[in-house]
Structure 1
Amino acid sequence: MNLAMSWDEWARHDATALAERVRKGEVTPAELAAQAAAGAAKVDPALSAVVEVFQDVVADPLKDGMDPAGVFAGVPYFMKDLGPTLKGRLQEMGSKLMRGNRATADSFLAGRIRKAGLNIIGRSTTPEFGTCSSADNPEVYVTRNPWNTGYTTGGSSAGSGALVAAGVTPISHATDGGGSIRIPAGWNGNIGLKPSRGVFSVAPYGSDLTGVVSIQGCHTRTVRDTAAFVDACRGGAPGEFMPYWTTPEPYTQLIKRDPGKLRIALSHEWGDYRAAPELVAELEKAGRLLERLGHHVEWAVPRVDFRAAFAAQTACYITNFAQTIAALMRQKGLEKPPAELVERMNRRIWEFGIGASYSERTAMQLGFNTASREFGAFFEEWDVILTPITAKPTPTVGTTEYLTIADNPSVLDWFANLWGIFAYTPLCNLAGIPGLSMPMGEQAHGLPFGIQAIGAQGQDGLLLQLAAQIERALDGKWNHGRRPGVHVAA
């Protein structure tokens, strides 16, 4: 097969650069789609990150309504198999229960993505319903980390994380209900922004009022691609319950300037949770770099009642996932999750949470309010909190204790274990504040490690501005300029 570029040339382009070549007439969207499809075929046997490639859209990028005049001009893009729907396409949510489930309409964000000029060429893997943080069920698929296939990618945006890291596409879709953009970004060496609540719409099937914690986004390898995605795809659909954030200038312009001197709090001792020493060392390295860039950096802990906040977050997850599973069962005329079709922990979550009372949800919402105000007060004194992306290193494939195939009999204990690994991401979802994983660190076993910058509500642009300053200081060489072993150019 004749491809438009060598793999090394392809891997040197981010989405913005590919789009510029399309606009110059040097390459076509169809040629980009063919190259990405070939890249997926090349690396996916080792990674299992692709659920499906839409061969009809590879052949004809305009078939589903992609706007070639959009900022991305036909750059190929994988959609996580969860969240926004694509009319007529399968969406199976990493679940045996949902096999054959076909969407009847595009979601609002899918339309924005296509209007931005992104050519959705397929589906990427996710754990069942996105509940846990790795697509690691041998009965469905096991998505592996391109840096070392003995390790997980994290999740729940598992496939997108692997595909962007392996050079298949420079940008792909991700969602985040408690770290599902940032964790796989951190463990695969990508850039992953969980934006503020009120940036990307989840219409028409939900809203930021009904969805509460889950939010949309993408994985990229450059800050400018993330900024361009937010600029092009942000905004509410008709009938939103709340106003959507606006910005006085596009993020693609804002990131060209360094931020002023920032007050940055290094932090990892959050309530009962502490990061492993090797990960604290990576956080300290990041802090020293930021000091050299002229920022004020010191250790500080947000004055948050972490136990109460995590209790509220746990209540939210249990009740939200229970209702999600119940809604899917209703579609299929089922009264309870079938053991042969729904993973063990998801069945237990449904059983534990389906009978939750309005009083319990009200207590949860009050917990959200308290924690949000506590973070808000902290951001009156600090501009950015810098944390490790996780409290523990990346697990090997087959580590089941935090997966929904775990046989832990206690739902509460399972969630407590989850927070022990993923201590620093979920409270951003609770408070609706932005968090950005930057591929600055490295783990002892050689995998990348993300450093997370957290900002106040609506300060997404400031986080991107800081990341762009770091990117320039590193001469664009995130991950110390390394590429993973499984890569299109390997």
Structure 2
Amino acid sequence: MNMTRREGMAAVGAAALLGVTGAGKAAARRSSLLDTHDAMGLAELVAKREVSPSELLDAAIGRAEALNPRFNFMAQKHYDYGRAAIAKGLPQGPFSGVPWLLKDLNTYVAGLPTENGSRFYKGYRPQITSELVRRIEKAGFVIFGKTTVPELGLTGTTENKLNGDTRNPWNPKHITGGSSGGAAAAVAAGVLPAAHATDGGGSIRIPASCCGLFGLKPSRGRVPMGPPRTEGWGGLSVHHAVTRSVRDSAAILDATQGPEPGSRYAAPTPAENFLSQIGKAPGRLRIALMLDAPSGSPVDPECVEAARKAARLCERLGHHVEEAAPKLDIAAMGAASFVLIGSSVAADMLDRAKATGIAIGPEVLEPITLGFTAYGQKATGMDFARANNTLQAAAISMAQFMANYDVILSPTLAAPPLELGKINLSPDVDFAAWGKRAASFSPFTQIANMTGQPAMSVPLATANNGLPIGVMFMGRYGDEALLFRLAGQLEAAAPWKNRRPAL
């Protein structure tokens, strides 16, 4: 195998730490590839026969086994499933032979468990396979497990009664974010360079910010959600990934995007593939800098400074930046989102209770989940319709604002990664107080879910305590291409590739 000097040094170092020689050195060398290559780079090595899919899978499994006890990011281990896929023969897709982890939330492989981070779904084995999974496997990815989530993905930290607390590789006392926190922890820890994630209120961008990764939330309708249904949380939720590199995010979206059978709607078809946008000049962008939380809640000065620093970088790159923010009724939008989420949760919980005969209660659901269920049961059909109308009106207002701006720049979060136990689903406060606490941590991310726009968290800053801070860029609906052009420019100007936690 041809190796760069850096790869060789990494392999020798890994071997020395393990105290191994011969076959052990070879295994350490293969493991080091997970540090020195992104997913596209690994696929290139497989295509050149410099490493085999089995060797990469064994390396990823070895990392997972070594690091999961410390950080708790694996909800399920499906190692034999991955090995069987390789033995059967992988499709010759853009990521053939690259290891992959699915998020354990409403993403199905027929016959394998999907437990949604909940005791209420323990042992649940759907008999359908998600369209997204079909596309992931067609691209050549090798699925070998599922990552942890908060119960039903309902909060911005990954702590649950089923699997326990997922801990941040940068500092295990702090959260990884949620609800894709297990995915972000696995990528940040170096188990693999990219992993599946979903986003219903910030659940790709929150963990990307907390773990120092790139995380793009696609436009509503860009990536398939079904079966059995092609819309999540009334259109708030989308699927994609957390990644180390921008190009991986673009290429994964190329492999997965597009309408599915029965789609209620689909995002506009891109003029060119997303990968082709990396390296293209984005032009002189008009950027609105939004520093205040739309809800009026406080924003940590370090997060404000991270956004200001990003704005200065954008100006050096030739973009025009000015402080501006859309006029939105955030209170009404937040209330509307609670109706959509609560109604969806209540319907699912009642259906689950009917299917299993298990009563809804604290033995199977956490307190905040029970709160969402009760809230949703009280909502009427007219409440749902009015909530939908409120968010449609907000999307129109946002589109009108963005007629004058290409991108909105803001902090991703209102604070650096919190300590564990602050916004979990079994808190020391009631439902209303918890809602205010959780919303005040991520007041910026939810807007893009409410309006359907694409948005990305870019790992451009570090807090004084050494934890990552992300900066968010939100684009016009359907225009992920522009975000990828900008992200590629930022990645080249302020590289984060070698910024890793000391494990």
TM-score normalized by structure 1?
A: 0.94
Aligned to 1:462: 482
Counterpart CA distance in 2 for 1:209 and 1:35 is 34
Aligned to 2:427: 406
Structure 1 residues 66 and 215: CA distance shift in structure 2, 3 A: farther
Q: Are 1:262 and 1:295, in contact at CA under 8 Å, matched by a contact in 2?
A: yes
Matched, 1:420 2:443: no
* Alpha-carbon shift at residue 139 of structure 1 (Å): 5.6
Q: 1:31 aligns with which of 43, 55, 74?
A: 55
Aligned to 1:212: 235
Matched, 1:477 2:496: yes
Deviations 1:175-195 (A, max 9, x none): 110001110000001111110
Counterpart CA distance in 1 for 2:203 and 2:266 is 24
* Alpha-carbon shift at residue 52 of structure 1 (Å): 2.2
Counterpart CA distance in 2 for 1:20 and 1:380 is 40
Structure 1 residues 271 and 48: CA distance shift in structure 2, 3 A: closer
Counterpart CA distance in 2 for 1:243 and 1:422 is 27
Counterpart CA distance in 2 for 1:237 and 1:211 is 17
Aligned to 2:7: none
What letter matches 2:58 in structure 1? Answer: A
Aligned to 1:431: 451
Higher helix proportion: 2
Counterpart CA distance in 2 for 1:330 and 1:131 is 22
Range 171-180 or range 236-245, more displaced:
236-245
Q: Are 1:145 and 1:152, in contact at CA under 8 Å, matched by a contact in 2?
A: yes
Counterpart CA distance in 2 for 1:120 and 1:209 is 23
> 3-state SS of the aligned residue for 1:354?
helix
Aligned to 2:332: 308
What letter matches 2:222 in structure 1? Answer: V
1:168-317 map, 5 Å: 168-208=191-231, 211-269=234-292, 270-317=294-341
Counterpart CA distance in 1 for 2:133 and 2:489 is 31
Stretches of structure 2 lacking an aligned partner (at least 5 in a row): 1-23
How many residues align? The count is 478
> 3-state SS of the aligned residue for 1:60?
helix
Counterpart CA distance in 1 for 2:83 and 2:137 is 16
Matched, 1:453 2:476: no
Structure 1 residues 103 and 4: CA distance shift in structure 2, 3 A: farther
Aligned to 1:394: 417
Counterpart CA distance in 2 for 1:426 and 1:163 is 24
Higher RCO (CA-CA < 8 Å; seq separation 6+): 1
Q: Are 1:135 and 1:155, in contact at CA under 8 Å, matched by a contact in 2?
A: yes
Counterpart CA distance in 2 for 1:67 and 1:9 is 20
> 3-state SS of the aligned residue for 2:208?
helix
Counterpart CA distance in 1 for 2:44 and 2:207 is 28
Task: Report the RMSD for the aligned CA atoms in angstroms.
Answer: 1.7
Counterpart CA distance in 2 for 1:245 and 1:33 is 35
TM-score normalized by structure 2?
A: 0.92
Matched, 1:56 2:80: yes
* Alpha-carbon shift at residue 49 of structure 1 (Å): 0.5
Counterpart CA distance in 2 for 1:120 and 1:343 is 29
> 3-state SS of the aligned residue for 1:385?
strand
What letter matches 2:85 in structure 1? Answer: P
Q: Are 2:460 and 2:496, in contact at CA under 8 Å, matched by a contact in 1?
A: no
Counterpart CA distance in 2 for 1:163 and 1:58 is 17
Q: 1:86 aligns with which of 92, 109, 118?
A: 109
What letter matches 1:406 in structure 2? Answer: P
1:333-372 map, 5 Å: 333-334=357-358, 336-372=359-395
Counterpart CA distance in 1 for 2:232 and 2:439 is 24
* Alpha-carbon shift at residue 427 of structure 1 (Å): 1.4
Aligned to 2:128: 105
* Alpha-carbon shift at residue 208 of structure 1 (Å): 3.1
Counterpart CA distance in 1 for 2:320 and 2:169 is 36
What letter matches 2:449 in structure 1? Answer: N
Range 285-294 or range 248-257, more displaced:
248-257
Counterpart CA distance in 1 for 2:212 and 2:203 is 14
Structure 1 residues 125 and 209: CA distance shift in structure 2, 3 A: closer
Counterpart CA distance in 2 for 1:230 and 1:110 is 13
Aligned to 1:19: 43
Range 298-307 or range 11-20, more displaced:
298-307
Q: Are 1:345 and 1:407, in contact at CA under 8 Å, matched by a contact in 2?
A: no
Deviations 1:312-352 (A, max 9, x none): 22222222222222222222124x41211110111122112
* Alpha-carbon shift at residue 210 of structure 1 (Å): 6.7
What letter matches 2:493 in structure 1? Answer: A
Range 204-213 or range 265-274, more displaced:
204-213
Counterpart CA distance in 1 for 2:295 and 2:33 is 47
Q: Are 2:220 and 2:266, in contact at CA under 8 Å, matched by a contact in 1?
A: no
What letter matches 2:265 in structure 1? Answer: M
Counterpart CA distance in 1 for 2:243 and 2:369 is 30
Q: 2:189 aligns with which of 157, 166, 177?
A: 166
Counterpart CA distance in 2 for 1:329 and 1:184 is 31
* Alpha-carbon shift at residue 66 of structure 1 (Å): 7.3
What letter matches 2:429 in structure 1? Answer: N
Q: Are 1:61 and 1:74, in contact at CA under 8 Å, matched by a contact in 2?
A: no
Identity %: 36
